[in-house]
Amino acid sequence: MAARARALRFARDLLLVLLAAVLISFLLKTFVIRSFYIPSASMEHTLQEDDKVIVNELEPRFSPLAHGDVVVFRDPGGWLPPDAGEPGTWLDAVLVFLGFEAPNDGEHLVKRVIGLPGDTVVCCTDFGQLTVNGIPLEEPYIVVPSGASQATREPFSVTVPDDALWVMGDNRYNSADSTAHLGDPGGGFVPMGNVVGRAIVISWPISRWTWLDEYPATFRGVTPAP
């Protein structure tokens, strides 16, 4: 009888530990950190297709975003095709819900923050650079085709409205970012409420594990918009 009681107690304790682990994982995924899957090449070479990143969900809820941050956000509307996601099994859905797996749901995008509320972002200078509030940017993270002379395919000039962001992919000529949606109802801006959080590290594959750089030197001279 004593052996059976010990076995039952062990099974009970194990179940409690498993339930606690699931609860903690769910709470972390909901309020603190979660994993996301990179579905496209729009952020190369910073992020490769099929990479997974860990996202800090405390930003921008409790800490402001900064120029150069890589952010994950929900589609503001019409940025992704209806069939962008890949259907998964019921087990995939459970693992995503609990935070053990990264979603590939066709609802989220990853880009770099170039313009914060009030900023004026313009392309391009005579040297092909973006400017933010009149300051030209040296952007070591971007990829442009051989022979291209400017940081984006088409010139533009925008002022970011309150509570919104202007975001761009590092793979500038192969990224359906804010510049590709200038004519949309939202003007290419991402509402702050759509931001899930800031991507902080590449978690998979292990060979690419690294912290994501926000390149503060690139934006050092940019002063806040008046």
Which residues participate in catalysis according to the annotation?
A: 42, 111
- Alpha-carbon gap, residue 73 to 52, rounded angstroms: 15
- Alpha-carbon gap, residue 52 to 49, rounded angstroms: 9
**Sign of the alpha-carbon torsion through 222, 214, 101, 78:** positive
Tokens of 202: 């590449």
| Integer CA distances (angstroms), 202 to 52, 54, 113, 132, 139, in order | 6, 6, 18, 28, 20
Count of residues for the chain? 226
